[in-house]
Amino acid sequence: MKFALYEWSTTILLVVLTSTIAAEVAQNRAVALKTLVVLGTIGCSLYVFNTLVAYISMLSLGIQAHPNDLIIGFDNYRFFNHIQTVSLPLLALLALRSGSISSDLYRYRYGLRILISCWWMLLFVTGGRGTFLGLFVGIFIALFLFRHHAIKWCCHMLIGAMVGLAASWVLYTCVPLFLGLQPFGLLGNVATRTVENVDSSRMPLWRLAIEMTMAQPWLGAGPLHFAHVGRFQQIAAHPHNWILQIASEWGIPALICFSGLIFLGLRHLIRVSRLPNANRADCLTILVALLATGIAIVVDGLVSGLLVTPSSQLWIALYVGFSWGWTEGFNRSITASVKPKIISSLTFGFVTGFLVLLLALVAYGLWPAVLNLPNYEKGNDQYQTNRSDGHLSPRIWRHGFF
């Protein structure tokens, strides 16, 4: 029960965060976009710097590096790929719109383009096929729906991809080979992995998720419970497919509701482009990037754990909040002004108490492992070694945990 409550509470808190971001963006779209530029650029630039430090350190020490050694700060470099699915399209948008956002940012437009290339380079190094698939499907659909309005943004994405591919080949393949090491990246193994293991061992997970759904179609096995039911397989703590995950854990009615929200959101992005005050080149470029990002998230989530990884959950909340607020701002501008509602003290107290309850449930779900994670994971390893019956492994921590 504690793990189900943990997922319920974190999901609701993500919705609260998304709606808060949307409310801020709807009030002033220009300021919100500038803030997104600054935060996104600083965060991604610092991470590129970290990866380059790791890369140079491995070369100078003559150590044969693996992407897990180069993509630091993540238990699995695939979790970093999930973030790239959301952040890459937005970085291309920021580079394209830097001049109209701020004259100060325009001076750094070439730096933003270099950052996009570095982000693509790291994607080629890790060989994230789900991210590749999602991004290119998003680009194709954006071109199909918005035609010439999508060309500039798509060109920024594709040029960044080509430069990133060249940089990854030189830095992560040629340089290590020149120094007597094997290539650092996984780009050369993508085709081999695809041929030898097309589904990347997803089929047993999907089969189990379907069985769970058929066994409990209305309410599912419970939030976070795929990791427990599938613990004997020792492959993954989630089915690597958001449709099967929600159906098996939350039930088919919840899946229908969630799918409906996704459909309505993407349709709303397309419909906003027809509004008179949004049918401008600069606004359409933003809508192109937002639509392509949403499609990339949906497609990548069909073959990955993008929906369950906390880091990508945060990026998705940022994306959905910004998209929601951006489109809502156009709706507000064509309707009569509405006076802000005054919240009563009773309502304020109720909302505050509800948020405190959610935070308490999060703490309850993490207790007591959060007090000493190294010892907890060590004990988990020993338990799995000594017992063959498996045990409860919700996907909060490693070994079935995030």
| Contact (Cβ atoms closer than 8 angstroms) between residue 24 and residue 153 | no
Inter-CA distances, 164 with 118, 329, 390, Å: 6, 35, 43
What are the mean pLDDT values of the chain's consecutive 10-residue runs (402 residues total)? 88 93 85 79 90 91 84 85 93 75 63 89 90 94 89 90 93 89 74 60 88 94 85 77 94 95 91 76 86 95 90 92 86 56 82 91 82 68 56 54 38
Instruction: Return the structure tokens found at 167.
Output: 């940089």
Residues sharing a CB contact under 8 Å with residue 338, sequence separation 6 or more, in sequence order: 332
- The pLDDT value given to residue 400: 39
- The pLDDT value given to residue 141: 93
Q: What is the pTM of this model?
A: 0.88
- The pLDDT value given to residue 402: 36
- The pLDDT value given to residue 360: 92
- The pLDDT value given to residue 260: 95
Closest CA to 146 of 301, 330, 333, 283: 283
DSSP assignment string, 153-185: HHHHHHHHHHHHHHHHHIIIIIHHHHTT---SS
